[in-house]
Amino acid sequence: MQIPGSWPQKALGWGLGVCSVEQAPQTGLVHVEGQQKKKMPPRAAHSEGTETERPEGSFKDTCEHWPASGRGRIWWLDPELTYGNAKPFVFTQGHSVCNRSFFPCFDTPAVKCTYSAVVKAPSGVQVLMSATQSTYVEEEGVYRFHMEHPVPAYLVALVAGDLQPADIGPRSRVWAEPCLLPTATSKLSGAVEQWLSAAERLYGPYMWGRYDIVFLPPSFPIVAMENPCLTFIISSILESDEFLVIDVIHEVAHSWFGNAVTNATWEEMWLSEGLATYAQRRITTETYGAAFTCLETAFRLDALHRQMKLLGEDSPVSKLQVKLEPGVNPSHLMNLFTYEKGYCFVYYLSQLCGDPQRFDDFLRAYVEKYKFTSVVAQDLLDSFLSFFPELKEQSVDCRAGLEFERWLNATGPPLAEPDLSQGSSLTRPVEALFQLWTAEPLDQAAASASAIDISKWRTFQTALFLDRLLDGSPLPQEVVMRLSKCYSSLLDSMNAEIRIRWLQIVVRNDYYPDLHRVRRFLESQMSRMYTIPLYEDLCTGALKSFALEVFYQTQGRLHPNLRRTIQQILSQGLGPGAEPSAEQGGAGADSEVDPEAPALLLGDDAPGAAISLRDVNVSA
């Protein structure tokens, strides 16, 4: 058995990695067996209106080793890369095609299986998986997991480390390192049950039993992953309350859209992401009101248009149905269009039926019909027209300019966008303040702007305001100087989602008096989402030597994969100004580049492939 380069020899003594599985007791780590329960007709079969039943059968196999040379998407973290610095940590990230390096599987979302796993771990190491059942025999140090519902391979997930639980609701608990547990608990206690209940009222019963959340160290390469029964989320987001809320609600929504009903092909990821984003916003509307939901939507659509500018209106990745070329990692086709153009299409469908509640009823029926299977877009659209025969009669799918086919296959912005006027009480002040800072003469406008207290604003308002300034950068030096005088200290005391935006403004405007804040931020942030955008901006501008200096001081505390990506940025100086290619178009649930990943999965491990949703300042 070979171990990853980043995994010290001593870690072998930790013991996770030796499992008493029957076929390969010396080398096995995880024993996975599955039963192919469900079938997904290929698209061609659909067009004929028939379903192709694949023979039911089972497979049983044993992982005889972790992936050769540690390649693949199993992330081994030395203790220094955790918060507690006490024990090593390991997690998997299967989305989208990485679990083939974890266990033998049909690594396609079209195939769903139940699974069982046996994991042996030393005392004191908690192992969790995305499963409905788990048992632990302490004397043997053996965990047994079983997922009773069929899931696609990418939703099989494992995490192990110094994790402790705390209940936050009748069917939910958080798992986190001990030093993080009180914060995680206080931020989510009671809330998750409220969101689950709201989702159940809208879309029917929650079908996965428990909804637990595990907080991962900053090395977790994405923000959150909707693993069934056990959402994975990065700890770095804990301080940014509103982002935490949205990210968790989004993953809750995936329980219905994505996990229960799954896109059968990676070319239609919008089916999961667009519907989950729509459901997430129905949940936030029910729970926090329309104004907040419209603000969050405006913030994201603003980012969508920013990404459009970066990619160009004719970019093939701005289609909902993207073309997956051989050898391309499907995750690299994910971008804000997958989420927000997908959302706009679903919202448009809801408008066609004239009443969001009737549309909720439709989605509930859709989930009931297709749960635990994988679908193509035509399934959704056929179901929609069957549920609303009056719309079918009116041929709404063929309305000039708004044809369903055009929604799916045209490049460019959404054909229609939602009415966000209910959020104007929150978005109007942002617009007004931005106008003041870009008005002439500056003296008068800046004085008026300075009189506006933004300290009580919602995070999404401040983030939207800063994104607008970032869009306009470089700004006149006089404006940057006054902005700094007015906001720098205040923003420095706010959460990381706000701080990074302000610091990007500092960097893009070469504003040296605030550079010490950039240094302090990079010294304290070890996650990809908060380091890569700043390094890219630093290297695009005149501050590359500053970036190098900070990197050499902090690199020892970065995960080797992140270290390598930053090294590539430093050596090539690629930044947001670079022309993004299709592969660079951004990513969502799997936006990182692991330079160790096999070429099969990632033939595109240039630093440009690391361009993520962060380029447009959103997480997903």
Q: Catalytic residues, which ones?
A: 251, 339
Tell which residue, 201, 311, 224, has the closest CA to residue 578. Answer: 311
Tell which residue, 557, 576, 558, 572, has the closest CA to residue 605. Answer: 572
Place of tokens 């289609």: 319
How many Å apart are CA 336 and CA 613, to the nearest integer?
7
Give Cβ neighbours of residue 524 (< 8 Å, ≥ 6 apart). Answer: none
C-beta contacts of 383-391 below 8 A and 24+ residues apart = 384/349, 387/361, 387/362, 388/352, 388/353, 388/358, 388/362, 391/352, 391/353
How many Å apart are CA 616 and CA 596, to the nearest integer?
26
Residue 339's SS3 state is: helix
Residue count at the site for Zn ion (CB under 5 A)?
A: 2
How many Å apart are CA 617 and CA 599, to the nearest integer?
29
Select 96 or 565, whichever has its Cβ closest to Zn ion: 96
Give Cβ neighbours of residue 198 (< 8 Å, ≥ 6 apart). Answer: 283, 286, 287
How many Å apart are CA 176 and CA 595, to the nearest integer?
28
| Shortest distance, position 39 Cβ to Zn ion, whole Å | 25
Select 276 or 550, whichever has its Cβ closest to Zn ion: 276
Sites for Zn ion among residues 264-283 (CB under 5 A): 273, 276
| Shortest distance, position 258 Cβ to Zn ion, whole Å | 6
What DSSP line would sit under 116-175, residue for residue? EEEEE--TT-EEEES-SEEEEETTTTEEEEEEEEEEEGGG--EEEES-EEEEEETTEEEE
Q: In whole angstroms, how far apart are CA 38 and each of 110, 153, 156, 215?
A: 9, 13, 16, 31
Site string for Zn ion, 285-304 (x = CB under 5 A): --------------------
| Shortest distance, position 588 Cβ to Zn ion, whole Å | 6
Site string for Zn ion, 216-255 (x = CB under 5 A): ----------------------------------------
| Shortest distance, position 253 Cβ to Zn ion, whole Å | 8
| Shortest distance, position 494 Cβ to Zn ion, whole Å | 26
Containing 287, the helix (H) or strand (E) segment is helix 270-288
Select 253 or 538, whichever has its Cβ closest to Zn ion: 253
Q: In whole angstroms, how far apart are CA 403 and each of 281, 394, 399, 410?
A: 24, 12, 5, 10
Sites for Zn ion among residues 415-444 (CB under 5 A): none
CA atoms within 13 A on the CB side of 525: 26
Tell which residue, 280, 279, 275, has the closest CA to residue 380. Answer: 275
254 is in an annotated binding site: yes
How many Å apart are CA 464 and CA 448, to the nearest integer?
19
Whether residue 529 contacts residue 221, with contact meaning beta carbons closer than 8 Å, is answered with no
Angle at 421 between CA 417 and CA 424, to 5 degrees: 125
| Shortest distance, position 226 Cβ to Zn ion, whole Å | 6
Select 264 or 470, whichever has its Cβ closest to Zn ion: 264
Select 322 or 506, whichever has its Cβ closest to Zn ion: 322
Sites for Zn ion among residues 359-388 (CB under 5 A): none
| Shortest distance, position 235 Cβ to Zn ion, whole Å | 19
Select 321 or 331, whichever has its Cβ closest to Zn ion: 331
CB neighbours of residue 178 within 10 Å: 12
Residue 256, burial from CB neighbour count under 10 angstroms (0-12, 13-18, 19+): buried
Cis peptide before 441 (omega within 30 of 0): yes
| Shortest distance, position 335 Cβ to Zn ion, whole Å | 12
Binding positions for Zn(2+) are 250, 254, 273
* Binding residues vs Zn ion (CB under 5 A): 273, 276
Binding positions are 250, 254, 273
